[in-house]
Amino acid sequence: MSEGPLTRLTDFGQSPWLDFIQRGLLESGDLGRMIERWGLRGITSNPAIFEQAIAKTHDYDGEIARLAKLGKNAVDIYETLALADVRAAADLFLPVFEESRGTDGFVSLEVSPRLAREAHGTIGEARRLWTALARPNVMIKVPGTPAGLTAIRSLLAEGINVNVTLLFCVERYREVLDAYSDGLEEASVSGRPIEGIASVASFFLSRIDTAVDDELEPIANSGGARGAAAKELIGETAIASARCAYREFEMHALSARWRDLAARGAQPQRLLWASTGAKNPRYSDIKYVEPLIGPHTVTTLPLETIEAYHERGRPAQRLVGTGESGRKTLDALARLGVALDRITARLLEQGIRKFIEPYDRLLESIEAQRAAVLAPGLSAGENGGVGLGR
C-alpha cells in the first residue's frame, strides 16, 4: 500500500470509504487498485449513484438485455444488477473485513427510498436484501426517519448490519444512538452474539451549509453588527453540527449503558461523514474532510474528493474535544433567528426525494431498454410493467 494522506487517516482512527460504485470499476480491477493505492476501507452506494452507474453508462446493457429476455421487470433487473455489484465489491473488501476483525471492509446497499416512512416495509426489504447478498461485510442502508428508527432496532436485533443514512441534525443522531443500543440489547437478550453486529450513522454535511448559507447571506448583506455576525457563520454550520454529533458519540461511549454492551463485545456505532463533496465552489474541495478526523469515524468520499485529499490532505486528529466550539457556533446561529431544526427537517424530506427521483428515473431507463429488447415480439406492458417499488 502506498503511503499518503488517505492511508494515514487510519493512524487517527478514521476509515476512508468510497462513495461510488460501478460495474466497470469492479471488472477493470480499478477498485482493487484503489484499495491498494488509497487504503480504502469500504464503499457506499445509493439510488443516485446507481442511476449514474446503470442509466448513464453502457456497462450493464448486456445484462439488462439478458434479464429482460428472462421476463424480469425493471425492479427485478435493477436489484439483480445492484446485488451483483455489491457482492463483487464485498468480496474485494473481504480481506479488509478479516484483517480488521469485522470492524471495516463494508459495502452498503440501500432499501427502496419509497419505503422511508414505512417501518414494516423497510424491515421486510432489508431482510430480503441481506439474505440475497449473503456476505458478512455488507450493510443495509436505512434512512433516519421515525419509521427508519423502528426498523433499525428490529434489524440490529436480528443481527443485520445497518448503515443509518440521511442524518442532518444532532437530536435525530441522539435517537439513532439509542436505537442502536436498543437493537443490541434485544439481540443479546435473545441469545444472539453481538460482537459481529456492525453499524454506522451517516451524518450529511455539505447540504447543511448550502441550506443554512441561503438564510445567512441576506442577513450578512444587511450590514451592521447582525450582518457581521452572520458573515462569520457562513460555511460553518455543517462542521459545527458534526462536532456536536461527535460529542454525543463521546458522551454515549462513557455511559453505563454502553459500557455494559461493550463488555458483551459490542462494537461502537461509528459516525460516518457523508455528503463530503463541497457543493459551493468558493469552498475548499477538502473542506468537509480535514476538520473531522478522529477516532471511530468514517469519511465517505466521492472520487474527485478522494483525489483532492490524496494530493493535498494533511491528516491530523482534529475532532476530539471540539463539541463545545460546535455548540457555540450553533448557539450563535440561533441568536440570529436561523431555525436549524426547521432547516434540517426540510433537508431530510429533500434527501428522501433526491433518492426517490433518481430511483424512478433509473427504473424508467431500465424499462425503456427492456421494452426495446422485447420489441416487437412482446410489449413492456405485457411483461409486468415497470413497477416503482415493492
Active-site pick, 141, 231, 279, 328: 141
- The answer to whether the beta carbons of residues 341 and 347 sit under 8 Å apart is no
Residues 6+ apart with CB under 8 A from 101: none
Instruction: Say how far residue 344 (Cα) sits from the centre of its chain.
Output: 17
CA-CA distance, 83 to 384, in Å (whole number)? 21
Residue 141 catalytic? yes
Q: How many CA atoms lie within 13 A of 178 on its CB side?
A: 10
Position 135, amino acid: R
Integer distance in angstroms from the first to the last C-alpha of the chain? 42
C-alpha angle with apex 203: 318 to 331, nearest 5 degrees?
A: 70
CA-CA distance, 304 to 291, in Å (whole number)? 18
Q: Would you call 375 exposed, middle or buried from its count of C-beta atoms within 10 A (0-12, 13-18, 19+)?
A: exposed
CA-CA distance, 29 to 24, in Å (whole number)? 8
Q: How many CA atoms lie within 13 A of 362 on its CB side?
A: 28
For the annotated catalytic residues, the residue numbers are 141
